[in-house]
Amino acid sequence: MAIYATLEAELFSVLVELLGDQRLERHALRVLAGARGHELGRPYLNLCQQGLIEEIRVQPGFFRRLFGTQETLWVRVTDYGQKVAGTIAEPLLAEPAPAAAETKSHPRQPDQASPETPKVVIAQPRPPEVFNVAAIDMPQPHPVVVAVPNLPPEVTSIDAPSSAAPLHAIGFHRDPRRDAARYGVSNTCL
């Protein structure tokens, strides 16, 4: 199976470099991969689905679970992943280094500048214009007088309704079922 995406290939090479033959906790691996500029996202899941990386779930003991310890995820490169990493590394080692004899005998000469180079004119910023505000003839503001109407005094307490008005007229409805539930009376009495 070949790795097609470049992000997956880069992440896989970083994981092989970090993990080697050992296993590492996933949270620590996320931090180490993030320090190298990679994140464990979709490419990581694709590597797991391809069988190159393996996640191992470890459940804590009974008493640790009782006190709230979460399960841990350990990550390691599978045997198949080690083989693929070896085949990826071989072509990189087989490439020859560029030979020093391939350099040109005549180094490139810098281009001659034309004798008629135009001068670059840089525009100087103009100073800001200052206006005398006192010279502008503007009307002076007049104070505005607002008449406040006499408000009735605030009501701080609610007086009891007069005995002449029935309770349902002022919006009070008494529910006998609610009273029965409040005082522990069964519904059969009502």
Q: DSSP string spanning 34-54?
A: HHTT---SHHHHHHHHHTSEE
- Of 13-17, 68-72, 109-113, the one with minimum mean pLDDT is 109-113
Backbone angles phi, psi at 2, to 5 degrees: -100, 150
* 4 pLDDT higher than 50: yes
d(CA 24, CA 129): 68
Interval 26-47 mean pLDDT: 86
What digits encode the pLDDT tens for the residues 115-134? 666 676 677 777 777 666 66
d(CA 162, CA 61): 71
Q: How far out from the chain centre does Cα 39 lie?
A: 13
- The pTM of the full predicted model, rounded to 2 decimals, is 0.42
d(CA 189, CA 134): 89
d(CA 48, CA 45): 5
Do the beta carbons of residue 40 and residue 33 sit within 8 Å?
A: yes
Give the pLDDT score at 156. 64
Do the beta carbons of residue 30 and residue 81 sit within 8 Å?
A: no
d(CA 81, CA 55): 13
d(CA 139, CA 175): 69
Interval 86-94 mean pLDDT: 64
Instruction: Indicate the pLDDT class of residue 1, thresholds 50, 70 and 90.
Output: very low
**Domains of the chain in sequence order:** 6-94 (1.10.10.10)
Q: Average pLDDT of the chain?
A: 73
What digits encode the pLDDT tens for the residues 177-188? 766 666 666 655
Residues 6+ apart with CB under 8 A from 44: 11, 53
